[in-house]
Amino acid sequence: MFHRPAVRRRLATAAVAMGLLCTLSTSAWAGARAPSPPHTDAQVTTVTSRAGATTALSGYTIQSTAKVTDSAAAVSSPGYPASGWYPAGSRSTVLAALLADGKYADPFYSTNQQQIPKADFQVPWWYRSDFTVADTGERTYLDFSGVISAADVYVNGQQVAKAADVTGAYTHHELDVTSLVRAGTNTVAFRIQPNSPNKNLTMGWIDWLQPPPDENMGVVRDVLVRRGGPVALRDAHVVTKLDVPTLSAADLTVKAQARNETGSPVTATVSGSIGAISFSTSVSLAAHEAKAVTFTPADVPGLHLTSPKVWWPAGMGGQPLYSLALTASTAGTVSDTAHESFGIRDVKAPLNSDGARQYSVNGRKLLIKGGGWSPDEFLRWDRTYVEDRLKYALDLGLNTIRLEGHIEPDEFFDLADRYGILTLPGWECCDKWEGNVNGGEPGDKWTAADHPVARASMAAEAARLRDHPSVISFLIGSDFAPDATIEKDYLDALKAADWPTPVVAAASDNSSPVSGSSGMKMSGPYDWIPPNYWYAKREGGATGFNSETSAGPDIPTLDTLRRMMSPAELDTLWKNPGSQQYHRSPSSTFSTLKLYDDALTGRYGAPTGLTDYVRKAQLAQYENVRAQFEAYGRNATDSTKPSTGVVYWMFNSGWTSLHWQLMDRYLDQGGAYFGAKKANEPLHVQYSYDNRSVVVVNNRHAPASGLTARTTLFNTDGTQKYDKTVTGVTVGGDGARSTALTVPSSVSGLSTTYLARLVLSDSAGKEVSRNVYWLSTKPDTLDWDNTDWYYTPTTAYADLKGLGAMARAPVSATASTTSSGDTSTTTVTVRNTDGGRTPSLQTDVHLVDTAGKPVLPVQWSDNEVSLWPGESATLTATYRTADLHGSAPRVRVSGWNTPEQTLPAS
């Protein structure tokens, strides 16, 4: 057996291009909505003079050094005529700016991105910005991170930092430019060096998508102009200690650094507040001295909180936040200020008896149900687009987002704090970050110069993320754990930053000398496997903590496919399984859809056209994603080898993709999305592929009793062949499960392909969960002995071809829309009006405008529902009214065996 559990996503050839990432400003890109373009003109930034104020540069003009013959001193001086330069946003890669300027065709369509010349980005580029200050009475600093890959920095014609010092996507820099800044207009210029993720500690795209030709070179976080007086306040944060399990008290320790920026001794008063709690101390500082300032409950009794407002993950409680305000004053004049938000919560993640990492928050265990995050391929930051995706995570019943590298800016974690979404940030695999430990994988070995960059990167991210209650760990390795030297650098930096949550050695089943075993597994799969795979307690099945896994391809809706691929490419998509698919992956392992397409044909029958291919894909993705989350949910409370975490690989895609996504680039939703949503509903009835048990899983905190579970089996013509009802079902809370019944192994008269309808009702008889499966008396057969790192072969497919013979089932629909403020809600009632016995399988409702284009994003109460004759379902869709763009809403109703119709929903 050849199996590489720790080396997934192996790139088969060294020629596979790799990219990087971080976060970036919005431009006129083809998104799920029409985002506002960024501020990208050459307007001068007006800097606030108030002590403690920070002002972000509003944008840049940029140009290739191949086209600039003037000296650095000239380029970085006020008044330089940057004629012919391109505008760029305040956070922008080179390519993002060029795309916003219309230089290239939409890179998300077809193979347009291949037409962008890589050579243009293999030389440095200038980033130039002007800012004004009204006076020079305060000190002035440049404060920034997010430079990819490195930069020489100039202010008003003078070099203030060299690229050897300003290197690495995550390192933080503060440059004192007081002596160079003058009243009026000032200029800052960055000479950005080309990037290579294999050579630089930046960001790479691995095998997620076709990497951007510029490798994301640029400045992808805000550059701040900071003003201050003689004493600077830095490193402000709050260390919290919550009394667990009572949650009745919490101790807060406030820490900061006071730094004398002058050549003379000074006495400063550092005062602060957290709500109604106030504190103050006097600090004597010698010339250029820095001192730690600390306030503890022993000094300030108010910092011992009784009945604290405790932060919880979504679904477990509320998300209250506290605010810290600090001020440093000299001779009664404010010199600097600092502000931090934080939450009070306790995170533990010990290894259980099986060696799996088991997270608990505030003393309550939870199954981590997450997805792997991708930013926009060109690192364009759009707060609304990010917020929409995080809302989708909650809608799907997920509680965690994993960020493998690509660690987003502060606003991302602010949103996660607000919504109660846990985050697992960490370093990435398959490039320079793991170059010392990854064997034959891509990534250069480290030199002596790389170690301080790694230490500085860890220190900067630890300081930035530590106060966010949504951050529950940092993964210092991905496919591989760091060696002893690198781990020590990371751990020293984390300790110095008062890092409050568990540090994990790797996302794979690896260990590091100090952190020990990761308690996680990375055993795949990453490509197609059947739904019953997930129930085996081996490989990627539902045991332990699987840090990244899925059945691979997630074919988007037909609407999205037509937006992202040419007619010829769409023809190839369904006709030629072995063809290279540009919109899948640069990796030769994942460059085709052959495994997926073979399974689709083997199980459902050969596609007869593009529409048939897509409808079969949606059915296949629904059943597989549902099974993945259901298996992990069912096994979470097992007494032996329980499941403790699963991260769907991936939550979303940074571009128009054919794999690894629960929703597509434009936020449209298909089988994968609604399969996850069904599996993770709060109170859920589900079928087990391994032992035919019908299980109720309760994801709510409170137990449930008096439930009734009914299971009915049907042939595809609607003939009922088995029916059993169990009353008095009781299930505990916090992910507990209860087995209601077990379906017999043999049912007389059952067709080879059949349907199972599960209905759970509460004590009042109200339906609280419905789940419909399409199954076969001929199961999928897995060849476990030939498991590879990315999949397990299937030697025989389940026979689901009988679905193709289902009679057409007419569905009627009515729809209406109401609006309140900026939000509209469309209510749709669908009814199976068939006069016989045939169910309407996977009836899908899409909200569209008058041109038939999907209105996105949208949150449905339920969708892709299956109805038997006479049954109806009322579904609601909630969305921004502005996303109709003035159109009247309409709904498009279709299904596996339902004729498509579109009707008004005004």
As a whole number of Å, the CA-based R_g of the chain is 28
Judged on CB neighbours under 10 Å (0-12, 13-18, 19+), 886 is exposed
Neighbouring CB atoms inside 10 A of 639's CB total 6
Task: Kindly state the tokens that stand for 767.
Answer: 């339906």
Distance separating alpha carbons of residues 71 and 187, to the nearest angstrom: 14
Neighbouring CB atoms inside 10 A of 129's CB total 24
* Active-site residue (options: 548, 554, 623, 630): 548
* Helix, coil or strand: residue 753: strand
The answer to whether 81 touches 130, Cβ cutoff 8 Å, is: no
Task: Kindly state the tokens that stand for 526.
Answer: 């990453």
What is the chain's percent helix, strand, coil content, to nearest 5? 20, 35, 50
Residue carrying structure tokens 């700016």: 97
The answer to whether 893 touches 855, Cβ cutoff 8 Å, is: no
Distance separating alpha carbons of residues 811 and 885, to the nearest angstrom: 29
Strand pairing class (125-133; 60-64)? antiparallel
**Nearest CA to 223 among 258, 177, 266?**
177
The answer to whether 625 touches 676, Cβ cutoff 8 Å, is: yes
H/E stretch holding 845 reads: strand 840-848
Neighbouring CB atoms inside 10 A of 450's CB total 21
* Exposure b/e, 577-608, CB count within 10 A at least 16 = b: beeebbbbbbbebbbbbebbbebbbbbbbebe
Catalytic, 548? Answer yes
- In sequence order, the β-bridge partners of residue 710 are 725, 759
Distance separating alpha carbons of residues 457 and 462, to the nearest angstrom: 8
The answer to whether 101 touches 14, Cβ cutoff 8 Å, is: no
> Is the alpha carbon torsion for 529, 534, 539, 545 positive or negative?
positive
**Which amino acid is located at 550 in the chain?**
S
H/E stretch holding 182 reads: none
H/E stretch holding 488 reads: helix 484-496
| HSE of 48, CA atoms in CB hemisphere, 13 A | 11
Dihedral, 274, 278, 282, 287 alpha carbons, nearest 10: 20
The answer to whether 361 touches 347, Cβ cutoff 8 Å, is: yes
Catalytic, 340? Answer no
Task: Kindly state the tokens that stand for 62.
Answer: 């940029």
- Give the Å distances, CA to CA, from 118 to 41, 89, 95, 123: 25, 21, 10, 10
Task: Kindly state the tokens that stand for 579.
Answer: 């063809």
The answer to whether 361 touches 640, Cβ cutoff 8 Å, is: no
- In sequence order, the β-bridge partners of residue 46 are 132
For 10-28, the three-class secondary structure string (H helix, E strand, C coil) is CCCCCCCCCCCCCCCECCC
The answer to whether 411 touches 382, Cβ cutoff 8 Å, is: no
- Phi/psi class of residue 45: alpha, beta or left (left: φ > 0; alpha: ψ in -120 to 50)? beta
**Nearest CA to 176 among 107, 111, 131, 226?**
226
**Nearest CA to 250 among 242, 258, 260?**
242
For 456-469, the three-class secondary structure string (H helix, E strand, C coil) is HHHHHHHHHHCCCC
Task: Kindly state the tokens that stand for 319.
Answer: 């998300």
| Cβ partners under 8 Å of residue 739, min gap 6 | 693, 694, 695, 696
* Active-site residue (options: 479, 630, 834, 864): 479
The answer to whether 577 touches 594, Cβ cutoff 8 Å, is: yes
Active site members: 479, 548
